[in-house]
Amino acid sequence: MTPDDLARLAPAGHYMALRIGFAFPMEEVNALPQAWIEHYTRSRLLLHDPVMRWGYAHTGIIDWTDLRHQDPQGVLAMASAFGLRFGVAVSVFDDNADGQRSLANFSRGDRDFTGLEKRLLLTYVTRRHTEMAPPRNLTAAELQALCMVKDGMRLKQIAYDLGVTEGAVKQRLKNAKVKLHANTSTQAAAMARQFRLI
């Protein structure tokens, strides 16, 4: 699904927080109206938002209308005043001890989402969540090299400290970049740290 597809499915805007760790998501996409973002932030609505509360406690997909009875602060009515009249929330969770969650909200101003649209959005968020899962096939040597990159060490110093050739270090970092889908060694080290692998 492309950004254009998302814009067609959710013309009033969308928000995604992918792979939320201890406090922050690995990736956050906020394509909601700027006026709503400012109002939401200024009014500290996150604490009262029934959509976000549902997302942290459940998995699957739900229509915002099904959450109106859980909205004593009127957050959904406020959202409607900003053009976000109809919406769905999606929540995906890894069912394991280190489980991470991805949350998404999609909105329209004209009508409810169809069953097909809801299935497409749930599939999309699930796919993005799965794609961003930490790889489990990094070797101890690759993780050690990434840890040294994270500490700011240069290739020559890493090779010296490990007692291997620079070529061996380059290969370890190349393998790690491929497994992490990273463009640079620094990016790979940052991702490994975010995944709590190093």
pLDDT at position 198 is 86
Q: How many whole angstroms separate alpha carbon 34 and alpha carbon 43?
A: 14
Six-digit token string for 31: 């394509």
140 close to 147: Cβ distance less than 8 angstroms: no
pLDDT value for 98: 66
Residue count of the chain: 198
Task: Return the pLDDT at 3.
Answer: 83
- Residue 96 is predicted with a pLDDT of 65
**CB burial of residue 95 (10 Å; 0-12, 13-18, 19+):** exposed
In the chain, the DSSP E strands lie at 13-20, 25-30, 60-63, 86-93, 101-108
pLDDT of residue 133: 80
Helices (H), 132-184: 140-150, 155-162, 166-180
Evaluate whether 32 touches 84 at the Cβ level (below 8 Å): yes
| Structural contact between residues 121 and 86, judged by C-beta atoms closer than 8 angstroms | no
Backbone conformation region of residue 172, classed left if phi is above 0, alpha if psi is from -120 to 50, else beta:
alpha
Token output for 165: 């050739």
Going from the first residue of the chain to its last (198 residues), give the mean pLDDT of each consecutive group of 10, the final group possibly shorter: 90 95 84 97 96 95 96 96 97 79 96 97 94 86 94 94 94 94 91 83
**Contacts with 168 (C-beta within 8 Å, 6 or more apart), sequence order:** 159, 162
First to last CA, the chain: 32
